[in-house]
Amino acid sequence: MSFQLVSEYGAKGDQEQAIEKLVKSLGAGNAHQTLLGVTGSGKTFSMANIVERMGRPTLVMSHNKTLAAQLYSEFKNFFPHNAVEYFVSYFDYYQPEAYIPRSDTYIEKDSSINDEIERLRLSTMGSLLTRRDVLVVASVSCIYGLGSPDDYEGMMVPVWEGQELARDELLAQLVGILFERNDVAFGRGRFRVRGDVVEVHPAYLEDTAIRVEFFGDEVDRVSSIDVLTGAVIERMDKHTFFPAKQFVSSADKMQRAMIAIRAEMEERIGIFEKEGKLIEAQRLKMRTEYDLEMMQEMGFCQGIENYSRHITGRAPGERPYTLLDFFPDDFLVLMDESHVSVPQIRGMYEGDMSRKRVLVEHGFRLPSALDNRPLRFNEFMEMTTQRVYVSATPGPFEVVNSRPDNRGFIPVHGNQERGIDPIRLRQLRIEPSPTEEPVEEFDVTGKGRLLIVEQIIRPTGLLDPTLTLKPLAGQIDETIERCHQRIQKGERVLVTTLTKRTAEDLTEYLQGAGLKVRYIHADIDAVERVEILRQLRAAEFDILVGINLLREGLDLPEVSLVCILDADKEGFLRNETSLIQTAGRAARHLNGECVLFCDEVTESIQRLIDVTEYRRGRQEDYNEKHGITPQSVVRAVQESLHQLQDDKSRAEKLSSSLVAEDAAVYDAVNVLMELESEMQEAAGKLEFERAAHLRDQIRELKKRAGLEKDESGKASPGKS
């Protein structure tokens, strides 16, 4: 099945020329090409058009979960008839295993797995093995180790109507692919048996189970059923069960792996004993033998990924299998916010290795655990043949590599042996194919030609925000005055600082000045960040103070003013890329303005001024030519809030009937259980706004029902 883009609107502004130029470059077989798209120009829509026209399995990479979830939602809407999958880390909480030698402190691995995200990961793997119309939105998790795709595919269990298959044989096959039998607690990754009827809840399906009915040793009927009610949804000719876990292997491979693991353990213990490291030797022996026993009895153990080299039969040092191995050879890669994503991929390997080497040296893991790792950057590039980098501020890597004659890649990382000067890299200037260049004149084969395509026209007609430079002296008082002006108009403000402490202190100061303000930084968990942004858009407060989180990908059309404090403090947070990205947060509002507080115009500030003037001029010319009146971007926050309001009304209706009596408290508990279940379900589906709002209703209901605990841990009395 081919990709079918569904949208109420077509390409506007300069989207069409950008799409056609990139498709032309991809069709010519070029390995690297870049879409320079400004904030609000519809880059995601252009990416969707490229996917449809190329018609190949596609990996869309994002540098964090929040933006990945946003992209996943958008692509699901664009391709409702195709397989749009989501592949990110399935940990809600993750504390990696580590050892600190100087204090002899061992930190055991601790994690909390999100079942819904695990389901989506398994669904991704299954889709890639069974169809071609697949678009996967993924984080950097896609370059971390997985089981072998050959093993995963080889362990699929097909079942069809009329098949000669004994019931007990099917049960054995399900256990072999790591399903658990539980006739009482039916859930994902489990099956139950009722006479000649076997019901299986695949780990990759949400609310659907598969019922297999037998007549003797023959499959009589295969049906999909509702998990809760058991009602038949659809009768099926066949169904293929995928393994219930990501790391699976056949029994013979597992046996060979255990022999190899034991041999490596004995060799390593011998080395430790020879060196007089008896504690390390004993530690390694106990841990490894326990894991071997679990694999022998259960086919699985905690941390089995550390033995993946032996399980998959790889040689020492050989790269691990990853999600990329599940794609066909001709898949396409779209790297969103590439100026962040590319360095992130580059940095994963060394960060992981530095921790694991310590564990190996002190007997917590076998040396083979080092081969359970993310891909090196060169391995990632070798496994991906064609890439489209998407960013408003492409980095040096994208600029240097986006050329027709570059079939490999140039490792732009200050490598002097290749004649790359880091200073010159910072001075690189991008000369993209301008909007007015006809597609037929866009040279995709000429040596040295830059394959960078410009998309700077916003269909809304909005211009880049105006830039205002103000002195550092009195920057706080000036910020307060400007905030008051915007708040009176019902608009929102972003203020960026250089440190977490400054963000917190400034927030407290602004609150003291009578302003409704909150801060956001890396110490705030992802769900809470989403809720803070929702509250900003819903005008529950007016000003948001942050550091560098107020940059890539944030869609805040109500924000009309961005204040950048200490803008002339040249560095990572005040370089050209950061300034352009931060200023762009006001580009979705008609009255967009960016105020930079500085005593000198640094090179980065000047570059921001030059870029802004150029883009504003181009947009003004386009608007005049096509008779466009700029309009602020309108997002469906109110629609979302309507849904949340319904939840609120229902919760208030339920809570209003409650009184502080035993029976009422019992009713309240039931209501709370229902709401908490809905909250967990919403969070699992990445509907963070709804989850956060339900959380607030739960808190309010607890308070009204007298179930809220005070600081002493005692329940507060309910209302009479």
**What is d(CA 389, CA 398) in angstroms, rounded to the nearest whole number?**
7
* pLDDT of amino acid 51: 96
Q: Cα separation of 81 and 133, whole Å?
A: 9
Tokens of 276: 């007089």
Half-sphere exposure of 313 (CA within 13 A, CB side): 12
699 has pLDDT over 80: no
pLDDT interval class at 634 (50, 70, 90): low
Residue 648: exposed, middle, or buried by beta-carbon count in 10 A (0-12, 13-18, 19+)?
A: middle
| DSSP structure string for 415-438 | -GGGT--HHHHHT----PBPTTS-
Do residues 226 and 214 make contact, with C-beta atoms less than 8 angstroms apart? no
For residues 711 and 472, the model is more confident at: 472
Q: Is the pLDDT of residue 322 over 60?
A: yes
Secondary structure (3-state) at 112: strand
For residue 372, give both structure tokens: 């359970």
Q: Give CA–CA dist 583/466, Å, rounded.
A: 9
H helix or E strand, kind and range, residue 234 = strand 232-236
Residues 154-173 pLDDT 10s: 888 999 999 999 999 999 99
Choose among 164, 158, 167: nearest CA to 191: 167
Residue environment code for 111-122, b if the CB has 16+ CB neighbours within 10 A, otherwise e: eeebebbbbbbb
pLDDT range class, residue 218, cuts 50, 70, 90: very high
660 close to 720: Cβ distance less than 8 angstroms: yes
* Cβ neighbourhood burial of 276 (10 Å; 0-12, 13-18, 19+): exposed
- Per-residue pLDDT, averaged over 205-222, amounts to 92
Structure tokens at 684: 């699992």
Contacts of 677 (CB under 8 A, 6+ apart): none
Closest CA to 391 of 456, 346, 445: 456
From CA 49, how far away is CA 70, in angstroms rounded?
18
Contact assessment for residue 40 and residue 102, using Cβ atoms and an 8 Å cutoff: no
Rounded to an integer, what distance in angstroms lies between the CA atom of residue 398 and that of residue 468?
30
Which whole number is the average pLDDT over 553-560?
78
Task: Tell me the three state secondary structure of residue 546.
Answer: strand
What's the pLDDT score for residue 639? Answer: 37
Distance (Å, whole) CA 650 – CA 701:
11
Query: In the predicted model, what is the mean pLDDT of residues 314-325?
Result: 90
What is the model's pLDDT at position 683? 61
The answer to whether 233 touches 208, Cβ cutoff 8 Å, is yes
DSSP code for 457: -
Mean pLDDT over each residue of the chain, to the nearest integer? 84
* Mean pLDDT to the nearest integer, 457-477: 92
* pLDDT band (50, 70, 90) for residue 649: very low
| Alpha-carbon gap, residue 604 to 575, rounded angstroms | 5
- What residue has token string 């292997």? 249
Contacts of 647 (CB under 8 A, 6+ apart): 678, 690, 693, 694, 697
pLDDT tens string 650-685: 444 444 443 333 444 445 566 667 777 777 666 655
CA distance 384 to 484: 50
Structure tokens that stand for 373 in this block? 């790792």
What's the whole-number mean pLDDT along residues 418-427? 49
Q: Do residues 120 and 137 make contact, with C-beta atoms less than 8 angstroms apart?
A: no
Read off the pTM.
0.77
Question: Beta strand pairing status for 98-100 and 105-107?
Answer: antiparallel
**Cβ partners under 8 Å of residue 568, min gap 6:** 472, 574, 596, 598, 599, 600, 601, 602, 605
The percentage of the chain sitting over the pLDDT mark of 90, rounded to a whole number, equals 45
Percent of the chain scoring above 70 in pLDDT: 84
Query: What Cα–Cα distance (Å) separates residue 276 from each residue in 180, 253, 269, 281, 570?
Result: 44, 34, 10, 9, 52
* Closest to 257 in 3D by CA, of 312, 220, 304, 213: 312
Backbone angles phi, psi at 8, to 5 degrees: -75, -15
Could you report the per-residue pLDDT of 92-113, keeping only the tens digit for each?
666 778 888 888 888 887 766 6
Under the banding of pLDDT at 50, 70 and 90, the label for residue 638 is: very low
Q: Determine the pLDDT at residue 57.
A: 96
C-alpha span between 453 and 572 (Å, rounded): 26
Region 489-501: what's the mean pLDDT? 92
Instruction: Give the model confidence (pLDDT) of 278-305 as tens digits.
Output: 999 999 999 999 999 988 887 778 888 8
Q: Which residues contact 634 (CB under 8 A, 6 or more apart)?
A: 557
Q: Which residues of 194-224 are buried (b: 16+ CB within 10 A; e: fewer)?
A: eeeebbbbbbbbeeebbbbbbeeeebeebbe
Asked whether the predicted pLDDT for residue 705 surpasses 70, the reply is no
> Length of the chain, please?
720
